Amino acid sequence: MKKHLLAATLALTTVTTSAVVAEEPKQGGTLVMAIQTTPRHLNPAVQSGTATGQPGTQLFASLLRYDDGWEPQPYLAESWEISEDELSVTINLVEGATFHDGKPITSEDVAFSIDTVKANHPFKSMFAPVTAVETPDATTAIIKLSEPHPALMLAMSSQLLSIIPKHVYGDGQDPKAHPQNSEGVVGSGPFKLVEFKRDQHIILERYDDYFMEGLPYLDKIVMRIVKDGAARTIALESGELMLSGFEQEPRDINRMKKKDTLDVSNAGYAAIGPVNWLAFNTQQGKTADPAVRKAIAYAVDRNFLIKAIMLGATQPALTGIHPGSPFYDGSVEPYDIDLDKANQILDDAGYAKGDDGMRFPLTVDFGWASAKPVAEYLKPQLKKVGIDITVRSSADFPTWAKRVSNHEFDITFDNVFNWGDPVIGVHRTYSSQNIKKGVIWSNTQQYSNARVDELMALAGATNDIEERKKYYAEFQQILADELPLYPLYPSPYHTISNTQVGNPPNSVWGTSHPLDRVYLK
Amino acid sequence: MSLTHTIAKRIGWGLLLLIGVLILNFTLISIAPGDIADSIAGDMGGADATVIEEIRERYGLNQPFYVQLWKYVSGVARLDLGFSYFYNTPVTQLILEKLPATLLLVFSSQILAIVLGTLLGVLAAKKPNGIVSLLVTFLSLFGFAAPVFWSGILLIIAFVSIFPLFPVGGMTDVTVEGGFFVQLLDLLHHLFLPMITLASIYLALYSRLARASMLEVLGADYIRTARAKGLPQRMVLYKHALKNALGPIVTVAGLQFSAVMSGAVVVETVFSWPGLGTLALQSILARDTPTIMGILFFSSFVVIVVNILTDITLRVIDPRIKAG
């Protein structure tokens, strides 16, 4: 048996989720924080997205947790072992852990949770190779796999695998519509639910019998649902709110950076991995020609967009893998702006300029208001290389999603999340198996390359990280050359915390992470 | 035509209108491209094709339009407004949950606007060319011209950011502990800015109306007589003139009901006030058809009922009005 990590002692000795801790954490207090939208409900096992993830990771513990360096840490799993053939993972649960109703958390609950997530969660690739979960005793669960599955580790962390009680959610009702997803939630995490008022707040209180000794530090967390960014900024400045994650409005971020009472940090969020790009329709119209895509890449000034529109709040992303991921390859062709080269490529490809200086028209779509400036920028910019851009807005997200998922577009601004391991959130964009009409964030570019498919299969079937890096490097080089999409930058997610907040979360999952080590100074 | 006959006829027309509104709303919403499955997939950060198909199957979105329409209309006939896709809750329960907050905001702002507006109108009418009158006219124009989302944000900047006197939004502060009066104070503290914002448009309307109405009444013969009798100015203004000038204000206040409700949608959004407006916006963004339909149905129902009641009341108090 290959022992990857036996980390029982690490749990209590390493507080790696925080930066240098200068002072002793204090017990007690109420943290008032913001979340930006009302969650559909609070059970992340059957509902993805960060709206559910932020309260969900307080209510439910997962098997592992990740620190800011992408290292798995013990959580409900005290230790874990991967077999030599990589086809089974043995999970040893921490002794004495209980659900919020006092009943013990057992391997049966782990098996039930994995089955529930596998059957109901929208990300099917997370547990697809899981064939069975064996439960030889109450604290041991053995996950059996049909093939080696490196994404399993991240899939067992944060909001992706909430351990839910079988005796509550296994009562035969549809878990997606279970009444205890919103009220009377029976969780396994550091905080229990007191009240969930839609569009108003979620109140959580310390679970005294939480399995991690001495944690959580806070007595209570009040998550206020504040949709308006300006309102959150003012409330953070005035001290009405103490913490807010997933903040991404550059103007607000820069403004709050100037406030002495606030800490503004972009640490973390790499596992969420939100990357913005211009996606091309690779099968229809002029963008089906790789030369056109390359010319557009050379004509668009990524650094200008970062400086002028994102006000420097983010950094370039040269590939569809988040720059914070260990698999990111920054050595690919960056396509730095070169209008002469762009014009040359189009001339060579036979797209001559007409009398009006234009070669051909293209449409640029966008699906949400914050993307509009980028779409608008493309019109005058691509005119310089003779491409006549029409900017097409959509009334709302579903309208845009319908157009793009039915492949009725030339170029669209898009924002897609990596969701931890590339197997979960990256492969879906490029896999030729995933060209599915009507499904947003499938391979809507309709890109198909046998070698890319092969590389994804190879990288998704080994736990050897160096091997994986090698496969993903080649994968990114091919994509940078063929450009089914032109990556721009990650969403500038920031965590804003009052200086009175100790250990603000900075894990790779941002604030979708247990806040059990957060305290008030 | 007897009164009973009039009432029956009005209710009949009202029902027909409601059915028309239902069909029209449902059709319009269904015509729009995309559906809740796209919206839910968007919220979840993407979803597998089988999951999206399952959502459409579960909510009957892959059924023909007329089947969906029939199911919805027959559900409403049984007083079932459907199940919110987004909130995972029956729509009736959602509306009832949010209604008190909206009613509180609407009624408090209306009362404030009527009382203060009338008072300002009377003051302005006292000296039609005086400085007060000029000020009231200016305020009225400002109130009319300034959109509530803008004036709301200005108030937030002034009284939350620069002078932190009020909370930035919400209806209560759950960290405030105390008895009934402490909670009530906290509620009023939160209510103040949204109430002022929503009242500002109507304050303009009522002060203009009161001013014009008072000016008209003040020119009447009986006021001249009252003055000739030697009654003091205050008596003339508040006892004799105002009483008669109130008529148009009361009528307009009744008719403004639907307008105030729609104004509340914007104000609630600016101040994160957890009422029907916030619910409406969230449902529209999420393309939560049953909830949007439920809110539209509910507001149409209220407007139709208020109109029927107005018609009947007028018929009762003024026999000269014949039901048409």
Q: Which of A60-64, A98-102, B64-68, B237-241 has the lowest mean pLDDT?
A: B237-241
Distance (Å) from the alpha carbon of A2 to chain B's nearest alpha carbon: 33
Residue A345: strand pairing partners: none
Domains of chain B listed by start with CATH number = 92-287 (1.10.3720.10)
CB within 8 Å: B161 and A417: no
On average, the pLDDT of chain B sits at: 85
Average pLDDT of the residues in B291-313:
85
pLDDT higher than threshold 80 for residue A17: no
CB within 8 Å: A230 and B279: no
Average pLDDT of the residues in A285-306:
97
Q: Band of the pLDDT at B306, cuts 50, 70, 90?
A: confident
CB within 8 Å: B169 and A231: yes
CB within 8 Å: B279 and A199: yes
Average pLDDT of the residues in A293-314:
97
Q: Band of the pLDDT at B40, cuts 50, 70, 90?
A: confident
- Provide the pLDDT for residue B38: 85
CB neighbourhood size of A242 (10 A) = 25
Q: Is B156 an interface residue toward A (CB < 8 Å)? A: yes
Determine the Cα–Cα distance for residues B206 and B213; give it in Å rounded to an integer: 10
- Provide the pLDDT for residue B1: 61
User: How do beta strands A243-247 and A30-35 pair?
Assistant: parallel
Higher pLDDT, A29 or B177: A29
Q: Are B170 and A200 in contact (CB under 8 A)?
A: yes
B43 contacts on A by Cβ (under 8 Å): 37, 40, 48-49, 51
Location of structure tokens 């007028």 = B314
Location of structure tokens 């103490």 = A242
% of chain A residues with pLDDT over 90: 88
Tokens of A341: 């080269």
CB within 8 Å: A40 and B278: no
Distance (Å) from the alpha carbon of A38 to chain B's nearest alpha carbon: 9
Determine the Cα–Cα distance for residues B83 and B80; give it in Å rounded to an integer: 9
Location of structure tokens 């919103």 = A182
Which residues between 404 and 443 in chain A have a beta carbon less than 8 angstroms from any beta carbon of chain B? 405, 416-417, 419, 425, 428, 436, 438-442
Domain ranges of chain A: 2-267+494-520, 274-490
Q: SS3 for A345?
A: helix
Tokens of A54: 């932020």
Q: Is B282 an interface residue toward A (CB < 8 Å)? A: yes
pLDDT higher than threshold 60 for residue A65: yes
B270 contacts on A by Cβ (under 8 Å): 228, 231
Determine the residue of chain B that is closest to A128 in CA distance. Answer: B48
pLDDT higher than threshold 90 for residue B5: no
Residue A437's contacts (CB-CB under 8 Å, 6 or more residues apart) are: A405, A406, A407
pLDDT higher than threshold 60 for residue A2: no
On average, the pLDDT of chain A sits at: 93
Residue B299's contacts (CB-CB under 8 Å, 6 or more residues apart) are: B258, B261, B276
Residue range A181-240, pLDDT digits in tens: 999 999 999 999 999 998 889 999 999 999 999 999 999 999 999 988 888 999 999 999
Residue B247's contacts (CB-CB under 8 Å, 6 or more residues apart) are: B213
Q: SS3 for A74?
A: strand
Q: Is the complex ipTM higher than 0.85?
A: no
Residue range B95-132, pLDDT digits in tens: 999 999 999 999 999 999 989 988 888 888 888 788 88
CB within 8 Å: B33 and A399: yes
Residue A143: strand pairing partners: A89, A133
Phi, psi of A280 (to 5 degrees): -110, 145
SS (H, E, C) A130-167: EEEEEEEECCEEEEEECCCCCCHHHHCEHHHCCCCCHH
How far separated are the first and last CA of chain A, in Å rounded?
Answer: 45
Location of structure tokens 């890109």 = A447
Determine the residue of chain B that is closest to A227 in CA distance. Answer: B272
Residue B50's contacts (CB-CB under 8 Å, 6 or more residues apart) are: A124
Higher pLDDT, A377 or B257: A377
Q: Band of the pLDDT at B324, cuts 50, 70, 90?
A: very low
pLDDT higher than threshold 70 for residue B69: yes
Going along A226-329, which residue ranges are E strands? 243-247, 262-265, 274-280
Residue range A336-383, pLDDT digits in tens: 999 999 999 999 999 999 999 999 999 999 999 889 999 999 999 999
Phi, psi of B299 (to 5 degrees): -70, -35
CB neighbourhood size of A166 (10 A) = 20
Residue range A230-271, pLDDT digits in tens: 889 999 999 999 999 999 999 999 999 999 999 999 998 999
pLDDT higher than threshold 50 for residue A6: no
Determine the Cα–Cα distance for residues A36 and A14; give it in Å rounded to an integer: 31
Tokens of B271: 């101040």
- Provide the pLDDT for residue B204: 83
Residue A8's contacts (CB-CB under 8 Å, 6 or more residues apart) are: A74, A78, A79
Q: Which of A18-27, B7-16, B107-116, B210-219 has the lowest mean pLDDT?
A: A18-27
Q: SS3 for A277?
A: strand
Q: Are B308 and B14 in contact (CB under 8 A)?
A: yes
Q: Do domains A2-267+494-520 and A274-490 have the same CATH topology?
A: no
- Provide the pLDDT for residue A9: 36
Cis peptide before A373 (omega within 30 of 0): no
pLDDT higher than threshold 60 for residue B323: no
Q: Band of the pLDDT at B321, cuts 50, 70, 90?
A: low
Tokens of B99: 């209604």
Average pLDDT of the residues in A317-332:
97
CB within 8 Å: B168 and A417: no
- Provide the pLDDT for residue A445: 98
Q: Are A206 and A59 in contact (CB under 8 A)?
A: no
Tokens of A169: 């959610």
Phi, psi of A433 (to 5 degrees): -75, -15
CB within 8 Å: B94 and A198: yes
- Provide the pLDDT for residue B138: 85
How many helices (H) does chain A have, and how many strands (E)? 16, 21
Angle at A387 between CA A382 and CA A391, to 5 degrees: 75
Residue A270's contacts (CB-CB under 8 Å, 6 or more residues apart) are: A70, A322, A323, A324, A325, A418, A508
Q: Band of the pLDDT at B319, cuts 50, 70, 90?
A: low
Q: Band of the pLDDT at B228, cuts 50, 70, 90?
A: confident
A326 closest CA partner among A511, A65, A16, A71? A71
pLDDT higher than threshold 70 for residue A25: yes
Q: Are A166 and A108 in contact (CB under 8 A)?
A: yes
Tokens of A335: 């396509």
Residue B61's contacts (CB-CB under 8 Å, 6 or more residues apart) are: B35, B36, B37, B55, B68
Partner residue opposite A397 with nearest CB, options B39, B88, B174:
B39
Q: Is A337 an interface residue toward B (CB < 8 Å)? A: no
- Superfamily of domain A274-490 in CATH is Dipeptide-binding Protein; Domain 3 (3.10.105.10)
Residue range A378-436, pLDDT digits in tens: 999 999 999 999 999 998 898 999 999 999 999 999 999 999 999 999 999 999 999 99
Determine the Cα–Cα distance for residues B40 and B310; give it in Å rounded to an integer: 42
pLDDT higher than threshold 80 for residue A516: yes
pLDDT higher than threshold 60 for residue A334: yes
Residue range A97-137, pLDDT digits in tens: 999 999 999 999 999 999 999 999 989 999 999 999 999 99
Residue range A366-375, pLDDT digits in tens: 999 889 999 9
pLDDT higher than threshold 90 for residue A46: yes
* The domain over range A2-267+494-520 is classified in CATH as 3.40.190.10: yes
pLDDT higher than threshold 80 for residue A3: no
CB within 8 Å: B285 and A397: yes
Average pLDDT of the residues in A506-514:
93
B140 closest CA partner among B126, B124, B154? B124
Average pLDDT of the residues in B37-65:
84
Higher pLDDT, B319 or B16: B16
Record the pTM: 0.87
pLDDT higher than threshold 50 for residue A156: yes
CB within 8 Å: B43 and A49: yes
pLDDT higher than threshold 70 for residue A19: no
A442 contacts on B by Cβ (under 8 Å): 46, 49
Q: Are A221 and A204 in contact (CB under 8 A)?
A: yes
Average pLDDT of the residues in B163-170:
88
Q: Band of the pLDDT at B285, cuts 50, 70, 90?
A: confident
Determine the Cα–Cα distance for residues B5 and A27; give it in Å rounded to an integer: 72
